Amino acid sequence: MIRRSEAATFGEWHASQERRWLRHGVQLLAEENGRVSAATRAARLPQGILVDLTLNQPEKAAGAIEAALGALEASDETVFVMVPAIAEGVARQLETSGFQPRQEFVSMVCRTTRPLSLPKLVPAIAKSVSA
C-alpha cells in the first residue's frame, strides 16, 4: 500500500487522509534529530486493532506497534498491520515477529475540485515620506 496525494490546498490534503477509521484511535510520531522517523496510526475496529505504519527503520516496527497497542490499552485482540508496499524490510521484520501477510490493496485518490490559479504576487514597496 502506498499513499500519495498531491494537493493544491491544505483542505484537499486533509480530505485525502482517510481519517474516518481513526475516529477513536491514536496517532503517534517518533522524532530523531529533528526529523520524523516513524508515523503510526492505530484504532480499534470490530474485527480487531488496525495499525498503519510508516517507518524509515524496519527494526523499529515492533516498538511502534507496541506503543500503539499500549496507547489503545489493547489486550488479547487480533492486530492487523498495514505497511507500504515499498517497505519490504518492515514487512520482513513483521513476518519474523510472527505476523502473516493477508492481502494487498490499493488506495486511490481522485481530485473532486478544480484547482484555482492564484494571481501573481507583486511585492509592496514602502515609500519614505520626507518631512
Give pLDDT tens digits for 19-33: 667 778 888 888 888
pLDDT interval class at 1 (50, 70, 90): very low
Q: In whole angstroms, how far apart are CA 2 and each of 66, 107, 128, 131?
A: 23, 7, 54, 63
Domain 10-96 in this protein, CATH class: alpha beta
Which range has the worst mean pLDDT, 1-15, 37-51, 71-85?
1-15
Question: What backbone torsions phi and psi does residue 65 show, to the nearest 5 degrees?
Answer: -65, -45
The residues facing 3 across adjacent strands are none
Nearest one of 36, 3, 38, 2 to 17, comparing CA atoms: 3
C-alpha cell read off for 49? 486493532
Give pLDDT tens digits for 74-128: 888 899 998 888 888 888 888 988 899 888 877 776 767 777 777 888 888 877 7
> What ranges do the domains of the chain cover?
10-96
**What is the percent of the chain with per-residue pLDDT over 90, rounded to a whole number?**
5
Give pLDDT tens digits for 107-122: 776 767 777 777 888 8
